[in-house]
Amino acid sequence: MPRERSPSESIVITGIGLIASVGDDRESVWKAVRKGHSAMRRLTGLPGIPDNLFIGGPVDIPLSAPDELKVLALCERVADEALDDAGIEPGSIRLERFACAISAHMGDSRWSADRIGLGHLYPATTVPWWEQWLPNTACARIANRHNLLGPRLCHSTACASGLIEILSAARAIQDGQCDIALAGSAEGFHPLFAAGFQQMRVLADHDDPRQACRPFDSKRQGFVMGEGGAMFVLERLSHALARGARIYAELAGGKLLAAAHHVTGLDLESDALAYLISETLRAARLAPDQVGYINAHGTGTQQNDIAETRAIRRAMGRAADLLCVSATKSILGHLINAAGSVELAITVLAMRDGFVPPTLNLTRPDPECDLDCIPLVGRENQFICALKLSVAFGGALAAVALKRWENAASGVADPKLRAA
């Protein structure tokens, strides 16, 4: 039987896997983000989408079959990297105490395409559609691949999904259901998403695709879509210390909330989002002036950027003027289900290296978006606490607070913060 554990024991991050359009592993992606390099381009060959209509940041990754869902290959890549980064050795972990939390994804739509006469647009069938149809296919495949026997968790909450999986895995650890978890999400382009966002007129366009996404800028038009994914190894602190794991950061707190407003529109008064930020700080035992960086949802849509700015100002008070806030969707694109996990990975790496990533294309700040949004060029900043926000269609809101790891031997992120 597992020994008794305290539900208040810290949850720490000991492994990260990351892939995006700008790099095929954790450090290459982070290096590109630091430098503000973008890989956005006009895309061709998407089933049902006219060539050159759609801007995005694709990932080139080999598939096991031409018709394998790319999201599955992306999940495998980042899961393998996260487990390797965490130093997980075969046989060293009790697998029945090892959870897997991977967010849902669009399933194989070839059966539906066949019924409406569009089956010819898809690759020749080698993988039966029903093997990739369920939205929890990636979660099941990754858990089976690594023989993870603990809880399997899978949520479909639009662009808050990635962050919600992190919080769900942490809760499973706190509840005593497991000691360690692999958690995250991935996203590959899907024609239904592309067509839907195109019809909603939320996708940005520009003669230079790299300049299309302009969060917090007065000329912003919307977002561009990206591909990629991120996975984390989360552990109970005592479990991580017992096996001598390297620790990136403490998952200090997190909260979920609903904005009961509209399926796609946002409440520009930002009551729910401001409350979410305040409650996350309370759960993490942080004062507003202890937070040095916020990785915003930052889509580059008219509503989102104003709503986030107002919520941050309301929740943070005077400390908002001291904050660094950036929107890395300007570099990587909007990864929809994977946005929260990928941007949380960027936040952890920014904290590790003491460097705030930039918001690209922010040349004419919107007066209503009056935070320090790190225009164009990143900045050295040895911050020790950060927030990651996700604001999703359907009203799902999520936030995570992080504390940089300073003293593994004492089991605290930073002694000064424990007194808060």
334 is catalytic: yes
Out of 105, 146, 190, 297, the active site residue is: 297
261 is catalytic: no
CA-based nearest residue to 323, from 371, 389, 258 = 371
Spatial strand order in the sheet of 249-258 = 152-153, 98-102, 180-187, 228-236, 11-20, 249-258, 396-404, 385-391, 293-295, 324-326
CA-based nearest residue to 268, from 222, 318, 314 = 314
Strand partners, 226: 57
CB 397 within 8 A of CB 160: yes
239 is catalytic: no
d(CA 357, CA 32): 10
Out of 100, 159, 178, 369, the active site residue is: 159
CA-based nearest residue to 165, from 67, 231, 98 = 231
Out of 190, 324, 334, 369, the active site residue is: 334
CB 345 within 8 A of CB 335: no
Q: Which residues are catalytic?
A: 159, 297, 334
